[in-house]
Chain A
Amino acid sequence: MNGNNAIHIKDLTKYYRGNQEPAVDKVSMDVSDGQIFGLLGPNGAGKTTMIRILCGLLAPTGGTVTVGGYALDKDIHKIRRIIGVVPQEIALYPTLTADENLVVYGGICGLKKYELKEGINRWLSVFGLEKSRHQQVGRFSGGMKRRLNLIAGLLHNPQILFLDEPTVGVDVQSKNVIIENLMEINKFGTTIVYTSHYLEEAENLCSHLAIIDQGRIIARGTMNDIRKAHNTEARLEDIFLELTGKDLRD
């Protein structure tokens, strides 16, 4: 491990093929163990690119990254064993039941049969899906899919959990149960890296925040740090608009 840093990023840069402008531009930051770290920014700011790089889905153009103390460019296989990822998309197999989806994902993450059974029972119960466990996911409502998508990422108790817009498009009840349980998971030591457009949700959930725009970090720290740095008592949304402007983004 690199000190107490769950994630250490130095000069991380990413250019997409054919683009002159970097999607991520020499970003350096640390996420400490046990933090709930919010990565915020307007559309196209570079949040998802950063998450995809940290998960090993994209190779960075430059910079160094360690996740859980393992270098991304050398120990990607070790990193995959300690992380959990909840992507923005509903990354589930619609013709498989909830149970079968979790057996597949949990099994791939190395859970043994009894661990799988226990974990699946527990999390389906926590997220109110136990009655639908034998139903094909394609027949689930949007909120149910979103909750199951979350379970698939945290079933194996990862050290570090990446969440890319986990509450997008869900009702208030589903959102509430997701947020409550993320806080609960965090209490047991899981580091959470979280991106969202819901700033109020981020303000309540995250212990630390970074605002990213055009591939650069433009503010970071706790909510109080950010307020102090900008000498304001305003809400996060107001600070965000002040920093990123009111122009529409693609």
Chain B
Amino acid sequence: MFEIFWSLIVEQGWGLALLRGAFVTICIGVLGMVIGLIAAVPFAIARWQRVPVLSQVVDVYSIVVRGVPGLLVIYLLFFGSVDWVQKVAVAFGYRDVAESAYPSIIGILAIAAISCAYSVEVMRGALEAVPKGLLEAAKSLALPPHVAFFRITLPLALRLALGGINNVWQMTIKDTSLVSIVGMQELMRMAVIAAGITRSPLLFYCIAACLFFAMTAVSQTLFGLGERHINRGFSGG
């Protein structure tokens, strides 16, 4: 039994392939999360300040994306974009590049779109939780609005948002497994390929599960440390 596993994982090189897949998964997760967070900050500010049209648009976006399964969002982005990506690529003469890079780019964008919808809610909640008195104090010191925002509101809001961002990240890294359905070569896809070729699905899906588990466990610990660091000086916080 053990020898079969050894030959599958080491001698046939599937272990390395899965590790490479895990690396791709981490890249997709981190990129998707970062892009989502960067997009979420202005959206959250729009909702916090109740900017007339934008705030409603962001609201609808966030409700729809949080209300439907991630798989459906990924299908929308993949199938919906095939046509015009092809057109753009042909028009600019980058057909080969587009065909090879296309799944990764859309995959990252899909993950970003999902995580952004959740991050918007987290950031908005955090912005609203910043005490009003501090903002009034900043105003009374005649701080320009952008200085008040970047020096007072944002640092405080980020501290409050960290717990929520941790949750969004845990969800995002698990959601990356969904882009395997549309053929991106990440951990889950590698496991599917390996399971198909070697005909031992139990082994490879369990390895994939272990790798995912390791990722979530490690990032959970890191977030715990970060939280302790960012909460220093806040008693009981």
* Pair from one complex: no
Q: Which A residues are closer than 8 A to B by beta carbons?
A: none
